[in-house]
Amino acid sequence: MYVKDVMVQNQVGLHARPATFFIQKANEFKSSIWIEKEERRVNAKSLLGILSLGIVGGTAIRIIADGSDEQSAVDALVELVESGFSEDSR
């Protein structure tokens, strides 16, 4: 199991569009991946799960993966979150 904490950078947080980018990235990996906010943990490959967390900008989340490619999965997802989902380039 590999775990990293990251701060959501973009102002609107993980609403539908960035959550979709997050899920697409998560689905590139074989590992089981979860997002944790406070005490709640959801499947990082589930749009409804991610949206149910209500993650807004400035929220700290934990990304957890377990499987053969767990470290590369977590690192790629942390990088995506830290980039602000490239929303600044619109």
Catalytic residue among 4, 15, 41, 62: 15
CA gyration radius for the chain?
A: 12
Active-site residue, 33 included: no
- Asked if 43 contacts 34 with a C-beta cutoff of 8 angstroms, the reply is yes
Q: How far is the C-alpha of 90 from the C-alpha of 78, rounded, in Å?
A: 21
Residue 72 in tokens: 């590369």
25 three-class SS: helix
Length of the chain: 90
- Which residues are known to be catalytic? 15
